[in-house]
Chains A and B, each alone.
Chain A
């Protein structure tokens, strides 16, 4: 059974990509949704692909960043995890039951139309370019989520407003890390979410409904 507010996050999780990931996580939570990822819980008893399949099955929405096409510095090989997980998501939507068929996804790349050169079969999906800019990523995520059925009750502030809020949240991060004795360079996916959710809880843009 999918949850209409759960957003499967399929993107690189390395340090280089972290600014974009944080910005997208912020946008997801500030729009009233919840981010899901294989990194949300470390259960060594669950095979990773099974965990991803379970989370994909539980998420009505998915954000897939396929921009990481460079060769890995250490192995000199490309990484295929993002296209694989996008395929799982599209497969669930195509072959799943009526609930799964309501899935929606946003596909991101760094440059417009670049995907046509390396994964042209996804043409026709909702593909947008973030230009490696966190502010653009926030706006894209906000605009996409605001069109979903569950977000139609309220007007979600514009992407520029969310980006301003994100900058305020980021300014608080170093002090929050210091207070919690966390190394800001070694925050995990769940650490990032906890800090973001705590900041949003204290800095809402609308009173709780």
Chain B
């Protein structure tokens, strides 16, 4: 069986804590392979509270 290619910064070893960068790389790879759904589109403008918008 072919060895899985891992796109993480460093292979995780016993006792390691996974880093955000490693988890992010793994998730992006899963999205690329279609195993996890891609992110939903963002709203066009950041939503701001009315009071904050008025103050500006």
Contact = CB atoms under 8 A, between A and B. Distances in A.
Interface stretch (A77-85, A102-110, A200-208): A200-208
Given A198-B27, A202-B39, A203-B39, A182 B18 contact: yes
Contact of B49 (A152, A171, A181, A198): A152
B35 A175 contact: yes
B48 A198 contact: no
Interface stretch (A47-55, A115-123, A187-195): A187-195
Contact of B24 (A153, A198, A205, A207): A198
Interface in B1-40: 6, 8, 11-12, 17-20, 22-24, 26-31, 35-37, 39-40
Contact of A202 (B19, B22, B31, B35): B31
Given A198-B23, A202-B27, A207-B42, A152 B52 contact: yes
Contacts of A194: 17-20, 22-23
Contacts of A152: 49, 52
B47 A172 contact: no
Contacts of A92: none
Interface in A157-204: 168, 171-172, 175-176, 179-182, 188, 190-191, 193-195, 197-199, 201-204
Which interface residue of B6, B26, B30 has the most chain A CB atoms within 10 A? B26
Contact of B27 (A172, A204, A206, A207): A172
B46 A195 contact: no
Given A154-B47, A180-B8, A202 B40 contact: no
A155 interface: yes
Interface of B (DSSP majority class): loop
A70 interface: no
Given A154-B47, A194-B22, A197-B23, A188 B17 contact: yes
A207 B46 contact: yes
Given A176-B30, A206-B42, A207-B42, A201 B47 contact: no
Nearest to A180: B26
A197 B48 contact: no
A155 B27 contact: no
Nearest to A201: B24
3 closest Cβ contacts across the A-B interface?
Answer: A198-B23, A198-B24, A179-B26
Interface of B: 6, 8, 11-12, 17-20, 22-24, 26-31, 35-37, 39-40, 42-43, 46-49, 52
